Structure 1
C-alpha cells in the first residue's frame, strides 16, 4: 500500500451527525469523496437532503436522516437506517452539539445539564449503539468534534466549555475502553468561518480575531474536514485517544474583548 492509498475510506460506512451545514457538511463531503458511504444526519431534513444531493452528484453514496441526537428513539432509528441501507457501520462522527455564552448566576442547573446532554451524553449514547456494529465489521473509528473552548479560560463559557472539556476526556477514556479494534479521537476547532458566521460577523471583529490568531486568518470548514479525514483513514492507524487542535496556533481565545 502506497502512502496515498492510506488516505481512503473505500467500502466504509460513516454516520455524521450535524451534517446539514458547516463542519458536519464538510466532513460528510470529505468522507464521501474518500469513498465512504455516508449517513448524513441532522434535525432539519432539507439540509441533509441537500448534502446528500451534492454527494450523489459527485458519484458518491449517501442517505439523509432527520435525527435529534437528544432523542433516544431517533438515535436508534438513525443507526437502523445505516444498517438497512448500507449493511454495516464503521465510522461515527459526533459533530452535533453546541451552546451559546451563559451567565452562571442565571443559567439554571437544568439548562446546564441540557448542554451536557447535547454535547456529551449524546456522543456516549451513539458510541454505545455503534460500537457493537463496528466490532461486527472488524474495526471502527469514532471522531468527536470538541472545541478550543474546552481548554480556554474565558468568561461566559462555563456551560459550553465544561461540556466540551468533558467530551475531550470522554474521547481519551473511550479510546482505552475500545482499543485496539476501534480508535477514538477528537478535533478541537478554533474559530471557523462558516457561512452563517461570515454573514453576521462585523468586519472589525473578524479583523481583530485574525490579528489575535498566530496564523493571521480564521479557519475554514475544509480545515476541519481534512483533519477528520486523516483521523478516519488508515493513515492514522496508530493514533487513538488524541485531541487534535486545529486552531491556527491559538493558545487562548481569539475573540476580541
Structure 2
C-alpha cells in the first residue's frame, strides 16, 4: 500500500529545537511513523514533555538538553543517537532563528552569529551524522529554512541571509552526499509557534497576516512535520537537493515591520 512508504519503523532520528513548535511536532510525527527519536534543545522540562508524547505512541525518546547555538554541541547529537539506539537514519536541523533588526543596527558580529546558529550548526550535525548513516542503510537530512531566504523584507537582513545560505547549503550538501544520503530543506512560512505569539495573540495583526497570505491562514507546526515525514521516508526517496516551499503560497512578505526609509 502507498501509505507503507511513509513508515519509519526501526529508524532513528535526531531533531534539534525539539522542545516546542515545529521541532516538537516533528519529533512526535516521526515517532507516530515508527521512529525512535533523539530530541534536543536548551530546556529539559520541555523535552521531557515531548518525550512522554513520543513514548505514548510506543516509541523511544532520548532527551539531550544542550546549547545548540554551539556547533560542537549540535555535532554531539550524532554520537548520542548511536549510543542510545545503535544507529542513525534521519537528521532534522530545525534549531535556528534570528531577531529582526534594522540594517544599521546589524553588526558584523550579529550577522555572523545568525549564520552560525542557522547554518554552521546544521553543517556540524550533518557532517557528524554522515558516518553513522553510511554505516547503515543511508539516511535523510531535512534543514528548516524560511520563506525569508527567498523574499525581501526590511529588518530581515541577518535572518534572511542565513536562511538563504541554508537553502543553498542544502543543494550543495545533497550533491556531495548522494546517492546514499538525501538532503532537502523546507522554506517555512508563517507558522503558529511561540516565535509568532505577538502576531497570533493579536487579532488585528493576525488578521492582516492572514489576509496577506494566499491561503488566508497561518500555518500549523504539523503542516511542516507532515512534509518532513514525507521527505525522510521512502515516500520521498527520489527527492534530494530540493527546497520545499511550505508557506501558504507567499510571493511577498506577509508581515511588514514598518521600518522607515533611511
How high is the TM-score relative to the length of structure 2?
0.94
Partner of 1:255: 255
Q: How does 1:160-179 map to 2 (within 5 A)?
A: 160-179=159-178
SS of 1:70's equivalent? coil
Is residue 31–residue 229 contact of structure 1 (8 Å, CA) maintained in 2? yes
Aligned length: 256
Is residue 210–residue 217 contact of structure 2 (8 Å, CA) maintained in 1? yes
C-alpha RMSD of the superposition: 1.4
Partner of 1:138: 137
Partner of 1:244: 244
Distance in 1 of aligned mates of 2:12 and 2:237: 17
Distance in 1 of aligned mates of 2:55 and 2:194: 22
Distance in 1 of aligned mates of 2:124 and 2:75: 10
Partner of 1:205: 205
CA drift at 1:69: 2.1
CA drift at 1:49: 1.2
Distance in 2 of aligned mates of 1:90 and 1:121: 20
Distance in 1 of aligned mates of 2:41 and 2:109: 24
Distance in 2 of aligned mates of 1:79 and 1:66: 14
The alignment status of 1:153 with 2:152, answered yes or no, reads yes
Is residue 67–residue 78 contact of structure 1 (8 Å, CA) maintained in 2? no
Following superposition, which runs of at least 4 residues in structure 1 exceed 4 angstroms of deviation? none
Distance in 1 of aligned mates of 2:122 and 2:47: 19
Gaps of 5+ in 2: none
Gaps of 5+ in 1: none
C-alpha deviations, 1:169-218, integer Å up to 9, x for none?
00000000000100000011110012563466310010111111111111
Distance in 2 of aligned mates of 1:227 and 1:16: 14
How high is the TM-score relative to the length of structure 1?
0.96
CA drift at 1:154: 0.7
C-alpha deviations, 1:48-83, integer Å up to 9, x for none?
111001111222211111122232442344222211
Partner of 1:22: 21
CA drift at 1:107: 2.1
Is residue 67–residue 74 contact of structure 1 (8 Å, CA) maintained in 2? yes
